[in-house]
Amino acid sequence: MRALCWEGVDSLAVRQVPDPELRNAHDMIVRVRRSATCGADLPLLGGRLPFVAAGDVLGHEFVGEVAEVGPEVRRHRVGDRVVVSAAVACGSCWYCRQGLHSCCDNSGTAPAVTESAWGQPTAGCYGQPGAMGGFAGSHAEYVRVPYADVGAFTVPDPVSDDRAVFASDAAPAGWMGAELGEVGRGDVVAVWGAGAVGQLTAQAATLLGADRVIVIDRHPERLAMAERHTGAETLNYELTDIPAELRERSGGRGPDVCVEAVGAADGGGTPASLAARLTGHRGDGEDPLAVREAVHACRKGGTVFVSGTFTGFVHTFPLGAVMNKGLTLRSARQHGQRWIPMLLDRMARDELRTEHLATHRFPLEQGPAGYALFRDRADGCVRTVFNPEG
């Protein structure tokens, strides 16, 4: 089959690779109909994560059609249209039973790596380096789906592929930021990042009853899209003193909930916010610039939820503000299995619309060009979506 493979730093190519095969009784094979880029791919693309290897197939946000099922698969039949959680999880370990699927004890196939880095092994994920399970990604004609009854969900008929594809990763990540950030009725919520994850966090916050939602970024097209589709207010961090403006819009206190949907990928290359420039705060490596600003801006006793991806150590983290302001700091990789059925229901009822995020659609053959657009945020690109069928 054809697949989009990582070849080296900033280099991708569509290659012929072996077809995936059922390896155990709970696996199924899915023929991919749509597969989207994600901000989490950018550090991989740039070769900034260890263990990414030439030939790795990228992609973890996808919808497709069941092509083959293992003998123990109960919930799916050949021909079903399914969306698959980006997180691979067994469904039966202690963590999966708590709904913490991205912390699954069994689906990370190189547990020694994550265990030594983080103290405990975590779940696998499609299209990520060997340390995250080494599961081949979805930018391909076919993908092997382990634990099929746990990770794959039938897409209701009214939900288009272009809408459903985001139920795989960006929508559960967005929902998680709002729900685990404990957004409640009447809250003021600030979201850093107007990518797909930030925009879907804003939508989730509104659905959970927030009074005001404010999305922060520097790309005017992304901010305009957030305003149009989520009803949020927006701020451009290159033009605004963000903490001061957020205080102004929250009765002088600061937002109740601050969600960071930026991650380390932007730490190095993005111009600093006004606040960061004024305080001279720039770090090396994984710079938690937006986390720092969220901690600074959050009201006392509020919650900061980090949805953005970090892998190692960060510099200049304002632990003093977290402590003295009595903040709750939370984070996670999304536990898709916990939220996807509810998100698909909302999509079917038209309460949650996501297809506008697919700003650019390409056949798989144009994978390298599609990623370049997404990486550079050129031409208003929010997500490139590949269709391996052409």
Ligand X SMILES: NC(=O)c1ccc[n+]([C@@H]2O[C@H](COP(=O)([O-])OP(=O)(O)OC[C@H]3O[C@@H](n4cnc5c(N)ncnc54)[C@H](O)[C@@H]3O)[C@@H](O)[C@H]2O)c1
Name the residues that contact Zn ion, by CB under 5 A.
38, 40, 89-90, 93, 96, 104, 106, 169
Return the beta strands (E) in 77-225 as ranges: 81-84, 87-88, 124-125, 142-145, 152-154, 188-192, 212-217
Least distance between ligand X and beta carbon 194 (Å): 5
Residue 192 binds which of Zn ion, ligand X, none (CB < 5-8 A, kind-dependent): ligand X
Distances 17 to 44, 61, 253 between C-alpha atoms, Å:
20, 20, 55
Count of chain residues binding ligand X (CB under 6 A): 33
> Is residue 40 part of the contact set for ligand X (CB under 6 A)?
yes
- Quick one: which of 20, 108, 308, 370 contacts ligand X (CB under 6 A)? 308
Return the beta strands (E) in 155-273 as ranges: 188-192, 212-217, 233-236, 257-260
- Quick one: which of 85, 122, 138, 307 contacts ligand X (CB under 6 A)? 307
Residue 286 binds which of ligand X, Zn ion, none (CB < 5-8 A, kind-dependent): none
Residue 88 binds which of ligand X, Zn ion, none (CB < 5-8 A, kind-dependent): none
Please state the length of the chain.
390
What sign does the dihedral 271-274-276-280 (CA atoms) show? positive
Task: Please name the residue ranges forming H helices in 160-195.
Answer: 161-164, 170-180
Residue 289 binds which of ligand X, Zn ion, none (CB < 5-8 A, kind-dependent): ligand X
Q: Which stretch binds ligand X (CB under 6 A): 51-59, 169-177, 179-187, 247-255?
A: 169-177
Residue 270 binds which of Zn ion, ligand X, none (CB < 5-8 A, kind-dependent): ligand X
One symbol per residue from 20 to 39: x for binding ligand X (CB under 6 A), - otherwise; what is it? Answer: ------------------xx
Specify the residue, 67 or 240, whose C-beta has the smaller distance to ligand X.
Answer: 240
The helix (run of H) or strand (run of E) holding residue 34 is: strand 28-36
Residues paired with residue 30 on neighbouring β-strands, in sequence order: 66, 143
Residue 178 binds which of Zn ion, ligand X, none (CB < 5-8 A, kind-dependent): none
Q: Note whether 138 and 127 are within 8 A (CB).
A: yes
One symbol per residue from 324 to 363: x for binding ligand X (CB under 6 A), - otherwise; what is it? Answer: ---------xx-----------------------------
What sign does the dihedral 176-374-315-250 (CA atoms) show? negative
Residue 218 binds which of Zn ion, ligand X, none (CB < 5-8 A, kind-dependent): ligand X
Least distance between ligand X and beta carbon 69 (Å): 27
- Quick one: which of 22, 66, 173, 295 contacts ligand X (CB under 6 A)? 173
Q: How does DSSP assign 269-312, residue by residue?
A: TSPPPHHHHHHT---SSB--HHHHHHHHHSPTT-EEEE-S---S
Least distance between ligand X and beta carbon 72 (Å): 28
CA distance 353 to 203: 9
Specify the residue, 97 or 349, whose C-beta has the smaller distance to Zn ion.
Answer: 97
Return the residues of window 178-237 that contact ligand X according to CB under 6 A.
192-198, 216-219, 222, 237
Give the SS3 label for residue 378. Answer: helix
Residue 93 binds which of ligand X, Zn ion, none (CB < 5-8 A, kind-dependent): Zn ion
> Is residue 295 part of the contact set for ligand X (CB under 6 A)?
no
Q: Convert 73-83 to b/e letters by CB count within 10 Å (16 or more is b).
A: beebeeebbbb
Q: How does DSSP assign 318-335, residue by residue?
A: -HHHHHHTT-EEEE----
Q: Note whether 148 and 27 are within 8 A (CB).
A: yes
CA distance 105 to 304: 26
> Is residue 273 part of the contact set for ligand X (CB under 6 A)?
yes
Residue 311 binds which of ligand X, Zn ion, none (CB < 5-8 A, kind-dependent): none
Least distance between ligand X and beta carbon 223 (Å): 9
Specify the residue, 26 or 281, whose C-beta has the smaller distance to ligand X.
Answer: 281
By the criterion CB under 6 A, which residues form the site for ligand X? Answer: 38-40, 169-170, 173, 192-198, 216-219, 222, 237, 261-263, 265-266, 270, 273, 289-290, 307-309, 333-334
